[in-house]
Each structure stands twice: as structure tokens, then as C-alpha cells.
Amino acid sequence: MTLSPSDKALVPFVSVDNMMKLVHHIGVEPMLRGLADYIEADFRRWELFDKTPRIASHSAEGVIELMPTSDGEVYGFKYVNGHPKNTREGLQTVTAFGLLANVGNGYPVLLSEMTVLTALRTAATSAMVAKYLAPRDADTMAMIGNGAQSEFQSLAMKAICGLKSVRLYDIDPAATEKAARNLTGMGLDVVACRSAEDSMEGAQIITTCTADKQYATILTDNMVGAGVHINAIGGDCPGKTELAPGVLHRSTIFVEYPEQTRIEGEIQQLAPDHPVTEMWQVINGTARGRTSPEEITLFDSVGFAIEDFSALRYVRDHIAGTDLYMDLDLLADPDDPRDLFGMLLRAGG
């Protein structure tokens, strides 16, 4: 099929089908734990990375974003869209793919689907953070919003934080039913709840992950008691939040990259100088996490390029020696680099 390009001209590609096979090859929970380890390791060396807010192209229907970063040796970026209306047309709200490249010569080294991988990395990040911030012995989670991310969140909390029980709630009972069905037999006690309040009964971890693009109030101030960890996933772009300002004012707030979170996260509702703690500093020991059992900790998560970078590194390392990728003839590779035209001529026979 190809004119035998050299190894460097072929880029390993992981399709959706192969990504799903990789998940089953490794196991969902071991892969979530592995991803969390890679993400934690990259949070620990956070200062080393080139960081920039994502580059967004907005339209009336949604947004297309590029999220690049680099650790000086490897460059990565993710393409991701967000189109809330897509669901109505039977399409994914979010699709994504990503790439790793060698900083030294600029040659791509991995192209991968990232719709499935983003779901996994988002859940792994939430659980890795909850391991640091949730109350000791937290074993019950309220999962509010039972869309595409909910099962991943539940299993990551089980695999990484020892979660035993998940209490599901969604305004659409069919979503809750779907999540409960998917989580059957996975080793979690799964409870379908009739209201957000109901779902929070006995929960030390509260995960909000709803999809509507609006200033919503999934958690009102009086719903949230002391001694919980809130994992707020759904508020992730300008004009899209889930928590009442009162909840934010009672919480100690942890973020990924403040420059981005202040635009996209729950804290877009607060003053631009409202104090937040950068999660990487908690992980490397230079900032405090939870300081008392009564504290309300809030992870105001919007997703950051470094998490995608970690996830792509994990995939790159774990497809080695498998047949779960194909080589794409993505890069021109003439014998003489100056003779691109000669290569083209010879291809014509």
C-alpha cells in the first residue's frame, strides 16, 4: 500500500476500536489506576511543562479547541469539540483525538482517538485528586448527572479511592437506569435515587457532571453539609456552571491551572482574586490539601492539556508489543530530504 517509507515516517495510530480493545486487554480498573499514576507523576513535575490556555474557536453551535503542551522532550496536543446540541442529533457532545511528537525533530510518534481516552483520563484525574482531598475512609459517592462520564467516574473512584457505594441521580430517569445497568456486577453497591438530595445521603464524595450549557444550580447552598469532597466536572466553559456561589464560598477550592479555571470553571462566578490552591502543589507537598474532617473541599475541574499528555504517554507505553495500533503513512520521507519532488515523481511510476 505504501512505498516502504522508513520507520520514522510511519505514525502508530490507535483507533476507537483498538482503544476499546486496549481497555479490555489491560482491564478497566487497572487502566484507570495506571492513568491516574501517569497523571499524578506529571502533576508532580507540573512546573516543567509549557502551559497555555486552550486555543478555542467558538461558533453559535459550540466550540472546537486545541490543547497543546510539552515537557521539553515530548510535545502533545488534543483536538476536542464541545457541541451541547449534538446529543439531540444522535451525535457525541464531545469527540477528541490527540497526538504526541518528538520535540527534538518534530516528528509525530502517536496519533490516537481520545473520545474514550478522555473519558478515562477525566475519571482518573478526579479519583487521583479525591485520593488527596476526600475525607478519610470516604466510601460513598453521590453521582449527579448520569451521562457518558458517570460510569467512568464511579469505577475510577472504586479503583483508586476504594469507593463501595454510588448513588446515582439524573433529571432523566433513563440516564440513571442506563448507568445503573452498566455498573451492575462491577463490585459497587449501586443505588438509583429520585432527587439530588436523596443521592447525597451518606455520601462523602459528591460528583456533579451535568451537560446543559447554562448557569445551573445542581447544588444549592443548603444541600451541602460539612465534611464532604465535591468533584465538580460539568462546569467547564464560560457560561456553564453547576454550583451555587454559596457552596463555593464555604469550600476550599482546588484547581488544575488557575488561568484557565477562572475563565471556564465554577470560580468564573467568583472574584478574579478569590483564593484557590493549585492541585499540583498539594501533590508535590508544597501546599496543603484537606486540613480537617469538617472542611468542604472542592475540585473545580475543567480538564487540562497535561492530563491528555499523560494519557497519551500511557497509551504510547502500553501499545508497545501489542497489535492494537496500525502504522499510518502520515509523513513524507524522501531518501534525500531535499528531494521531495523527486519522491513525488518516482511515485508516478
Work out how close the CB of 277 gets to its own copies at its nearest, in angstroms, rounded to a whole number.
Answer: 28
Residue range at the interface with its own copies (CB under 8 A); choices 34-42, 62-70, 156-164, 217-225 = 62-70
Whole-angstrom Cα distance, residue 203 to residue 100?
A: 39
CB nearer to its own copies: give 103 or 287. 103
- Is position 141 an interface residue for its own copies (rule: CB under 8 A)? no
Cβ proximity of 256 and 302 under 8 Å: yes
Binding residues for its own copies restricted to 111-140, rule: CB under 8 A: 113, 115-116, 119
CB nearer to its own copies: give 270 or 328. 328
- Is position 217 an interface residue for its own copies (rule: CB under 8 A)? no
- Is position 99 an interface residue for its own copies (rule: CB under 8 A)? yes
CB nearer to its own copies: give 104 or 187. 104
Helix or strand or coil: residue 335?
Answer: coil
- Is position 304 an interface residue for its own copies (rule: CB under 8 A)? no
Pairing of β 251-255 and β 277-278: parallel
DSSP label at residue 207: E
- Is position 189 an interface residue for its own copies (rule: CB under 8 A)? no
Q: Which residues have a catalytic role annotated?
A: 236
Whole-angstrom Cα distance, residue 28 to residue 280?
A: 25
One of 35, 39, 101, 130 touching its own copies (CB under 8 A): 101
Work out how close the CB of 76 gets to its own copies at its nearest, in angstroms, rounded to a whole number.
Answer: 10
Work out how close the CB of 24 gets to its own copies at its nearest, in angstroms, rounded to a whole number.
Answer: 4
- Is position 84 an interface residue for its own copies (rule: CB under 8 A)? no
Q: What is the DSSP string of 253-288?
A: EEES-HHHHHHHSGGGGS-TT---EEHHHHHTTSS-
One of 40, 43, 78, 83 touching its own copies (CB under 8 A): 83
Q: Which long-range contacts (CB under 8 A, 24 or more apart) does 37-41 make?
A: 38/310, 38/311, 38/313, 38/314, 39/121, 39/124, 39/125, 39/128, 39/306, 39/307, 39/310, 39/311, 40/128, 40/283, 41/310
- Is position 264 an interface residue for its own copies (rule: CB under 8 A)? no
Work out how close the CB of 139 gets to its own copies at its nearest, in angstroms, rounded to a whole number.
Answer: 22
Nine-digit cell string for 160 = 483508586
Reference 55, options 73, 83, 81; nearest CA is 81
Work out how close the CB of 77 gets to its own copies at its nearest, in angstroms, rounded to a whole number.
Answer: 6
Binding residues for its own copies, how many (CB under 8 A)? Answer: 87
Work out how close the CB of 115 gets to its own copies at its nearest, in angstroms, rounded to a whole number.
Answer: 4
Residue range at the interface with its own copies (CB under 8 A); choices 125-133, 135-143, 309-317, 323-331 = 323-331
- Is position 108 an interface residue for its own copies (rule: CB under 8 A)? yes
Cβ proximity of 297 and 258 under 8 Å: no
- Is position 26 an interface residue for its own copies (rule: CB under 8 A)? no
Helix or strand or coil: residue 166?
Answer: strand
Sign of CA dihedral 111, 114, 120, 121: positive
Whole-angstrom Cα distance, residue 180 to residue 349?
A: 59
Work out how close the CB of 266 gets to its own copies at its nearest, in angstroms, rounded to a whole number.
Answer: 23
- Is position 47 an interface residue for its own copies (rule: CB under 8 A)? no
CB nearer to its own copies: give 211 or 279. 211
- Is position 7 an interface residue for its own copies (rule: CB under 8 A)? no
One of 41, 45, 48, 104 touching its own copies (CB under 8 A): 104
Amino acid at 347: A
